[in-house]
């Protein structure tokens, strides 16, 4: 079971999370202009002229290059921040959920390297950015050691965590050489990642086989798959960019392929958490995510229908009348269409999400609806009993099912006509 925080400890934990979140999001937002400028000027390094020439050969502008790389980081950050806020909103009293939310905030703000250029704005900002970057890696490694219940299993992971903290602490407080990981060779950094990930994978395999229950195993499959694939894939991309000659620094392929692959791999972490929440009730926030998916998709579709309706009506009006002014009829007609589509479209989207992520619950609901419709016209008591037993078996799936058929209360001293039907 996850550790539940109460009283003063709960207040301290929430304040600490809010402080870290505000700092991380603020540093991320402050770093965006510096990162865009860095992408756009190609950092002014020795390979910048080669990269600019490669972009020109491919017919790509420097602005597109900068916008693309920046957009990848923003998308990753928004996904991580949103999921962290949802977890905190619903389960901030659970220590493991709060740890996960903190990890996602740190990852969204730093893992794309967004805070690396903060030092060009101010040295203090650069120091805080380096601290958050080290904390991100520490939280990712510790997550492998304590997921999903917050306990160190097996016991040697506790001592490994102490070693991890001992190693990471000077990296956070003294970001200069030799502790600054940005100055390390790519291959050395990749090996550093693998040295901490592999013990975590071994610990999760042990927990899966000997400790976790059925629900925890289902949760672990998705989350650990996403986390280990992301980190090991990230290390693999770094190694690939190092050993393949065509992907050396200054190559457009190195930046586009490396950046896209890295962003996709890192997105596996929040996406695997989301799937675990939706399918296996991790941290019990799947209802909120369900509603977010339904109304998010619904809003996007209604906006598209509204804008398309206005544009189509305006085009037809211009073709027929030759006037350029937009008629109010187009807006009124599109609004009426939106009002008519809202309820049926919401039901269809809800049905699709239920079938995709809540299949068992969706099937049970459909079975009960069919039984309630059938029972209105059923007069045969034996057939009704058989149908009831079948419905209970299909929806609840108990080990045994019994139906008691009760007659009128018998007089005192006489045996009841109650008969159990046991399957």
Residues 219-258: pLDDT tens digits?
777 777 777 788 777 777 777 766 765 555 556 666 777 7
pLDDT at position 81, please? 92
Q: Is the pLDDT confidence value at 112 over 70?
A: yes
User: 182 and 303 in one domain?
Assistant: no
- As a whole-number percent, the residues of the chain with pLDDT over 90 amount to 10
What is the distance between the alpha carbons of residues 41 and 44, in angstroms, rounded to a whole number? 6
pLDDT at position 380, please? 57
Quote the mean pLDDT of the chain. 75
Residue 190 contacts residue 239 (beta carbons within 8 Å): yes
Instruction: Give the burial string for 272-301 (b: 16+ CB within 10 Å, else e).
Output: bbbbbbbbbebbebbeebbeebbeebbeeb
Mean pLDDT of 270-290: 67
The H-or-E segment that residue 420 falls in is strand 419-422
398, part of any domain: yes
User: 161 and 71 in one domain?
Assistant: yes
Q: Is the pLDDT confidence value at 130 over 60?
A: yes
Window from 9-18, 82-91, 124-133, 395-404 with minimum mean pLDDT: 395-404
User: 182 and 37 in one domain?
Assistant: yes
Radius of gyration of the chain (CA): 29
pLDDT at position 14, please? 92
What is the distance between the alpha carbons of residues 105 and 109, in angstroms, rounded to a whole number? 6
User: 388 and 352 in one domain?
Assistant: no
Mean pLDDT of 360-377: 59
Q: Is the pLDDT confidence value at 10 over 80?
A: yes
What is the distance between the alpha carbons of residues 297 and 305, in angstroms, rounded to a whole number? 12
Residue 406 contacts residue 418 (beta carbons within 8 Å): yes
User: 410 and 299 in one domain?
Assistant: no
- As a whole-number percent, the residues of the chain with pLDDT over 70 amount to 66
Q: How many domains does the chain have?
A: 3
310, part of any domain: yes
Grade residue 21 by pLDDT with cuts at 50, 70 and 90. Answer: very high
User: 386 and 349 in one domain?
Assistant: no
Q: Is the pLDDT confidence value at 274 over 60?
A: yes
Of 170, 200, 230, the residue at which a domain comes to its end is: 200
pLDDT at position 24, please? 92
User: 383 and 347 in one domain?
Assistant: no
User: 314 and 188 in one domain?
Assistant: no
Of 200, 222, 244, the residue at which a domain comes to its end is: 200
Question: Does residue 244 come out as left (phi exceeding 0), alpha (psi in the -120 to 50 range) or beta?
Answer: beta
DSSP states of 54-79 as a string? HHHHTT--HHHHHHHHHHHHHHHHHH
Window from 37-46, 56-65, 132-141, 154-163 with minimum mean pLDDT: 37-46
User: 312 and 163 in one domain?
Assistant: no
Q: For the purposes of burial, counting CB atoms within 10 Å of the CB of 197, is it exposed (0-12), middle (13-18) or buried (19 or more)?
A: buried
32, part of any domain: yes
352, part of any domain: yes
SS (H, E, C) 387-399: HHHHHHHHHCCCC
Grade residue 106 by pLDDT with cuts at 50, 70 and 90. Answer: very high
Q: Is the pLDDT confidence value at 421 over 50?
A: no
Mean pLDDT of 176-184: 73
In which domain, by residue range, is 386 found? Answer: 379-422
Greatest mean pLDDT among 45-54, 324-333, 379-388 lies in 45-54
The H-or-E segment that residue 231 falls in is helix 214-243
Residues 6+ apart with CB under 8 A from 42: 48, 51, 52, 62, 65
Of 169, 200, 231, the residue at which a domain comes to its end is: 200
User: 138 and 16 in one domain?
Assistant: yes
The H-or-E segment that residue 403 falls in is strand 402-405
Mean pLDDT of 308-313: 71
Residue 150 contacts residue 207 (beta carbons within 8 Å): no
pLDDT at position 188, please? 81
pLDDT at position 161, please? 92
The more confident residue out of 176 and 172 is: 172
Q: Is the pLDDT confidence value at 170 over 50?
A: yes
User: 158 and 63 in one domain?
Assistant: yes
116, part of any domain: yes
Grade residue 423 by pLDDT with cuts at 50, 70 and 90. Answer: very low
pLDDT at position 289, please? 57
The more confident residue out of 263 and 290 is: 263
The more confident residue out of 29 and 289 is: 29
135, part of any domain: yes
1, part of any domain: no
User: 60 and 120 in one domain?
Assistant: yes
The model's pTM:
0.64
Residues 37-66: pLDDT tens digits?
877 776 555 556 667 777 777 777 788 888
């Amino acid at each position: 079971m996850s550790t539940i925080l109460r009283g003063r400890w709960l207040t301290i934990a929430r304040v600490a999370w809010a402080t870290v979140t505000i700092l991380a999001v603020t540093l991320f937002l402050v770093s965006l202009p510096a990162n865009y400028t860095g992408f756009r000027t190609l950092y002014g390094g020795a390979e910048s002229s080669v990269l600019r020439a490669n972009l020109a050969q491919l017919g790509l502008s420097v602005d597109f290059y900068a916008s693309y790389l920046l957009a990848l980081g923003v998308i990753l950050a928004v996904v991580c921040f949103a999921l962290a806020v949802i977890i905190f909103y619903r389960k901030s009293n659970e220590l493991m959920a709060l740890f996960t939310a903190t990890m996602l905030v740190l990852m969204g703000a730093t893992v794309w390297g967004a805070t690396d250029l903060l030092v060009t704005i101010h040295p203090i900002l650069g120091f805080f950015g380096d601290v958050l970057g080290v904390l991100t890696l520490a939280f990712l490694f510790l997550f492998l050691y304590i997921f999903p219940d917050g306990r160190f299993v097996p016991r040697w992971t506790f001592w490994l965590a102490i070693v991890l903290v001992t190693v990471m602490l000077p990296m956070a407080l003294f970001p200069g050489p030799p502790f600054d990981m940005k100055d390390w060779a790519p291959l050395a950094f990749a090996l550093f990642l693998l040295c901490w990930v592999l013990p975590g994978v071994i610990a999760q395999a042990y927990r899966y086989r000997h400790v976790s229950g059925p629900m925890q195993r289902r949760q672990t499959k998705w989350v650990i798959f996403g986390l280990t694939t992301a980190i090991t894939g990230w290390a693999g991309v770094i190694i690939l960019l190092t050993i393949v000659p065509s992907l050396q620094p200054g190559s457009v392929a190195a930046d586009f392929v490396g950046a896209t692959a890295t962003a996709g791999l890192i997105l596996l972490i929040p996406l695997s958490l989301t799937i675990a929440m939706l399918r296996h009730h991790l941290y019990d926030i799947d209802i909120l995510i369900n509603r977010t998916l339904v109304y998010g998709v619904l809003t996007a579709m209604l906006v598209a229908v509204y804008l398309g309706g206005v544009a189509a009506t305006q085009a037809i009006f211009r073709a027929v009348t030759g006037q350029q002014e937009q008629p109010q009829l187009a807006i009124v007609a599109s609004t009426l269409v939106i009002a008519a589509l809202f309820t049926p479209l919401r039901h269809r989207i809800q049905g699709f999400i239920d079938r995709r992520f809540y299949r068992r619950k969706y099937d049970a609901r459909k079975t009960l609806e069919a039984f309630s419709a059938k029972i209105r016209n059923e007069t045969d008591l034996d057939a009704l009993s058989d149908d009831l037993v079948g419905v209970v078996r299909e929806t609840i799936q108990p080990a045994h099912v019994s139906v008691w058929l009760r007659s009128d209360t018998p007089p005192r001293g006489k045996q009841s006509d109650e008969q159990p039907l046991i399957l």
